[in-house]
Amino acid sequence: MNILSKVVLLVDDSQTVRRMIEWVLKPSGFRILHAADGIHALEVLRAEKVDLAFVDLNMPRMDGIELIRSVRSDKKLQQLPIILLTTENRNEDREAALQAGANLFLTKPSSPAMLRSTAESILGVSASAATEGRKVQP
Amino acid sequence: MNMNRETALRELSQGSPDLQRRAARVLGRWADDQVLSALIGALQSPHRAIREAATDTLLEIGDARTVRLLLPLLRSSVPAVRNSARLLLQGLAKAAPEILIDLSRDPDVRMRIFAANIMTESGDHDLAEPLLDMLNDADENVRDAAVVGLGRLGAPEAIHRLEAFATEGGSWTRFSAIDALSQIPSSEATRALVRLLKTVPAELQEPVVEALGRQGAPEAIASLLQKLFEAPSLGAAIIPVLSQMPASEVVDRLSAVDRPYLAAAISERLQENGQSPEVTAGSLELLGKLGVQVAGSIFIRWLANPQRRIQQAAIRAVHRLGLGELVPMLRQLQSQGDPLLAGEIQAAIDGIALSGKERA
Cis peptide before A109 (omega within 30 of 0): yes
Strands of the sheet containing A31-35, edge to edge, are A31-35, A7-11, A52-55, A82-86, A104-107
Q: Chain B window 114-143: which residues touch A at a Cβ cutoff of 8 Å?
A: 140-141
Point out the residue among B110, B172, B272 whose CB comes nearest to the CB of A20.
B172
How far the first Cα of chain A sits from its last, in Å, is 16
Q: What percent of chain B has pLDDT over 90?
A: 73
Q: What percent of chain A has pLDDT over 70?
A: 88
Q: Is the pLDDT of residue A87 over 70?
A: yes
Q: Which CATH architecture has domain A3-132?
A: 3-Layer(aba) Sandwich (3.40)
Nearest CA in chain A to B46: A66
Nearest CA in chain B to A89: B110
Q: Chain A window 74-113: which residues touch B at a Cβ cutoff of 8 Å?
A: 87-88, 90, 92-93, 96, 108-109, 111-112
Residue B63 pLDDT: 82
Residue A3 pLDDT: 55
Condensed to tens digits (0 to 9), the pLDDT of residues B30-70 reads 989 999 999 999 988 888 899 889 989 998 888 888 888 89
Q: What is the DSSP string of A33-102?
A: EEESSHHHHHHHHHHS--SEEEE-SS-SSS-HHHHHHHHHT-TTTTT--EEEEES---HHHHHHHHHHT-
Reported as a pLDDT band with limits 50, 70 and 90, residue A136 is very low
Q: Is the pLDDT of residue A135 over 80?
A: no
Q: Topology of B96-181 in CATH? A: Leucine-rich Repeat Variant (1.25.10)
A121 reaches B (C-beta below 8 A): no
Is B113 within 8 Å of A87 when comparing Cβ atoms? yes
Q: pTM for this structure?
A: 0.85
Q: Is the pLDDT of residue B320 over 70?
A: yes
Q: What is the mean pLDDT of residues B293-305?
A: 92
Q: What is the mean pLDDT of residues B148-158?
A: 96
Q: What is the mean pLDDT of residues B228-254?
A: 93
Reported as a pLDDT band with limits 50, 70 and 90, residue A4 is low
B274 reaches A (C-beta below 8 A): yes
For A104, the enclosing helix (H) or strand (E) is: strand A104-107
How far does A67 lie from chain B, in Å, by closest CA? 11
Let me know the angle formed at the C-alpha of B122 by B116 and B124, rounded to the nearest 5 degrees: 100
CA–CA separation, B142 and B133 (whole Å): 11
Cα torsion angle, B160, B161, B164, B166, sign: negative
Q: What percent of chain B has pLDDT over 70?
A: 99
Reported as a pLDDT band with limits 50, 70 and 90, residue A138 is very low
Of the candidates A25, A20, A55, the residue with the CA atom closest to the CA atom of residue A39: A55
The DSSP 8-state label assigned to residue B107 in this structure reads: S
Task: With beta carbons under 8 A apart, name residues in chain B contacting A60.
Answer: 83, 86-87
Point out the residue among B82, B175, B206 whose CB comes nearest to the CB of A20.
B175
B107 reaches A (C-beta below 8 A): no
| A interface test, pick of B175, B233, B268 with most A CB neighbours within 10 Å | B175
Is A109 within 8 Å of B141 when comparing Cβ atoms? yes
How far does A60 lie from chain B, in Å, by closest CA? 6
Q: Chain B window 155-194: which residues touch A at a Cβ cutoff of 8 Å?
A: 170-173, 175-176, 179-180
Is A109 within 8 Å of B171 when comparing Cβ atoms? yes
Of the candidates A24, A88, A20, the residue with the CA atom closest to the CA atom of residue A57: A88
Q: What is the largest CA-CA distance in chain A?
A: 47
Is A111 within 8 Å of B171 when comparing Cβ atoms? yes
Residue B317 pLDDT: 96
Reported as a pLDDT band with limits 50, 70 and 90, residue A109 is confident
Nearest CA in chain A to B152: A16
For B261, the enclosing helix (H) or strand (E) is: helix B259-270
Reported as a pLDDT band with limits 50, 70 and 90, residue B176 is very high
Residue A27 pLDDT: 87
Q: Is the pLDDT of residue A1 over 60?
A: no
For A10, the enclosing helix (H) or strand (E) is: strand A7-11
Q: Is the pLDDT of residue A134 over 60?
A: no
Task: With beta carbons under 8 A apart, name residues in chain A contacting B83.
Answer: 58-60, 63
Q: Is the pLDDT of residue B85 over 70?
A: yes
Is B83 within 8 Å of A63 when comparing Cβ atoms? yes
Q: Topology of B1-93 in CATH? A: Leucine-rich Repeat Variant (1.25.10)
Q: Are B359 and B324 in contact (CB under 8 A)?
A: yes
CA–CA separation, A90 and B74 (whole Å): 14
ipTM of the complex: 0.83
